[in-house]
């Protein structure tokens, strides 16, 4: 791998680290505002508002990512994240702030993934995605732990002991530290060299951008290989967003943990995902990626064990196992989708289509979970609903893939992927 690839990895690590720490810090801030230390129905809305920008801006961020060197795009968008994070320090609602941070994240994502297809050859793309997934999951692990630690009163007391004039609350203290992590990511973004890759001139008229995006979506959704991987990753990312809050609620309600301790439980899902991602990068090549599709059904089925686990020592291996299945399944699917999209479209446009669909799924899934909680549905009932949803849809997607393979020779499309 080129040195620039590792610079991208480092920048992605710190940006994702801050994203995940910010979620926990905002949950703590929301509980301070509502004066309620227990899980509330509004907490999933933090992720919901963060994700809105991904969907609304999808027609535009791909063109923005392809309009200039992607390291520059990543730097600009991380500064937007810093601004969104900082305005909470002066009293802006965490919901509104998450919209702005999400704006930066939405524009950051096509550049982050797009630059990988520019600097990594095709035969190393699965391995590169394994590295990205592993580092991203590590950032989720450390980010959730960091968010729980930063939100604790212990850090706040430590800061006050050294700076008696400090007036920020524990949650706002955590958010101030997260701003600094975003700043580190921005500095690393400036160190990413220009790959020299240029695309056709980008439209600036909103109507033309939307038209281009609709055409790009049509191309990817009608491709017999792209449509399967896009459907699968769309579902999985939506469920993963809900599971982030289900695990937090489960650890607090069934295991009796506080927010800080629950964040550690969530981190073990990340440990498992890292293991799965590394194994996928080691053993699954691009041309074998479709073989992991049946594993998607087992991801949903494995969640049923959460209904009976009440011991922390049993919960740890369970979280690791669920994460490993998801990581091993997701890495090849992401690599296939990114590469197929790059072949049919361009790096920025294909990632924008992927982000739109995956984040629309996140909005729908989080909205469903919010409605279930608001309606008084118990945690266990919600878990069962999502288990059935994942398992049934994954089974249908597998049948869909078998149909495309038999009648359209979908697997042959893998060999159409050019080296670059």
Q: Which domains does the chain have, with CATH numbers?
A: 3-411 (1.20.1250.20)
Question: Is residue 318 predicted with pLDDT exceeding 60?
Answer: yes
Q: Is 342 exposed, middle or buried (0-12, 13-18, 19+ CB in 10 A)?
A: buried
Other Cβ atoms less than 10 A from the Cβ of 400: the count is 17
Phi/psi class of residue 91: alpha, beta or left (left: φ > 0; alpha: ψ in -120 to 50)? Answer: left
| Residue 36 CB partners (closer than 8 Å, separation 6+) | none
Question: Is residue 419 predicted with pLDDT exceeding 50?
Answer: no
- pLDDT category of residue 337 using cuts at 50, 70 and 90: confident
pLDDT at 269: 83
Residue 45 has φ and ψ, to the nearest 5°, of -65, -25
As a dihedral over the C-alpha atoms of residue 106, residue 192, residue 2, residue 338, rounded to 10 degrees, the angle is 10
Residue 179 tokens, joined: 């701003």
Other Cβ atoms less than 10 A from the Cβ of 291: the count is 12
Averaged pLDDT for residues 213-235 = 90
The length of the chain, given as a count of residues: 420
Got the DSSP string for 30-91? HHHHHT--S--TTHHHHHHHHHHHHHHTHHHHHHHHHSS-HHHHHHHHHHHHHHHHHGGGGT
Averaged pLDDT for residues 361-374 = 89
pLDDT at 221: 93
202 close to 63: Cβ distance less than 8 angstroms: yes
* pLDDT tens-digit readout, 230-252: 999 999 888 888 888 888 888 88
Averaged pLDDT for residues 68-72 = 77
Closest CA to 58 of 366, 341, 350, 344: 350
Q: How far apart are CA 260 and CA 293, in angstroms?
A: 35
């Amino acid at each position: 791998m080129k040195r620039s690839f590792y610079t991208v990895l480092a920048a992605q690590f710190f940006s994702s680290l801050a994203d995940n720490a910010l979620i926990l810090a905002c949950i703590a801030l929301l509980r301070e505002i509502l004066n309620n230390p227990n899980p509330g129905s509004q907490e999933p809305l933090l992720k919901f508002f963060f994700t809105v920008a991904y969907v609304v801006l999808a027609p535009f961020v791909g063109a923005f990512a392809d309009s200039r060197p992607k390291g520059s795009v990543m730097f600009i968008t991380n500064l937007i994240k810093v601004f969104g994070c900082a305005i909470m320090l002066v009293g802006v609602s965490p919901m509104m702030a998450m919209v702005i941070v999400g704006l930066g994240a939405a524009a950051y994502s096509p550049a982050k993934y797009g630059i990988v297809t520019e600097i990594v050859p095709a035969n190393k793309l699965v391995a590169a995605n394994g590295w990205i997934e592993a580092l991203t999951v590590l950032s989720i692990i450390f980010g959730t732990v960091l968010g729980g630690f930063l939100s604790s009163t212990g850090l706040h007391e430590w800061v006050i002991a050294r700076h008696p004039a400090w007036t920020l609350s524990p949650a706002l203290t955590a958010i101030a530290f997260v701003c600094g992590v975003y700043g580190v990511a921005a500095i690393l973004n400036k160190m990413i060299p220009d790959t020299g890759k240029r695309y056709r001139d980008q439209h600036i008229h909103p109507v033309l951008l939307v038209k281009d995006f609709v055409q790009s979506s049509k191309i990817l959704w009608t491709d017999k290989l792209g449509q399967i991987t896009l459907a699968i990753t769309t579902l999985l990312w939506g469920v993963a967003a809900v599971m982030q809050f289900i695990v937090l609620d489960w650890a607090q309600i069934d295991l009796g943990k506080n927010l800080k301790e629950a964040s550690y439980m969530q981190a073990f899902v990340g440990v498992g995902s890292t293991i799965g991602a590394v194994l996928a990068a080691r053993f699954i090549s691009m041309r074998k990626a479709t073989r992991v599709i049946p594993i998607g059904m087992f991801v949903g089925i494995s969640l049923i064990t959460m209904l009976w686990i009440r011991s922390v020592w049993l919960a740890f291996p369970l979280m690791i196992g669920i994460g490993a299945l998801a990581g091993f399944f997701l890495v090849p699917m992401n690599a296939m989708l990114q590469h197929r999209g790059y072949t049919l479209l361009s790096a920025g446009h294909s990632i924008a289509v992927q982000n739109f669909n995956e984040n629309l799924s996140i909005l729908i899934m989080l909205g469903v979970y919010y409605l279930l909680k608001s309606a008084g549905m118990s945690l266990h009932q919600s878990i069962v609903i999502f288990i059935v949803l994942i398992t049934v849809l994954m089974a249908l997607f597998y049948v869909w893939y078998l149909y495309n393979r038999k009648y359209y020779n979908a697997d042959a499309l893998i060999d159409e992927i050019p080296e670059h």
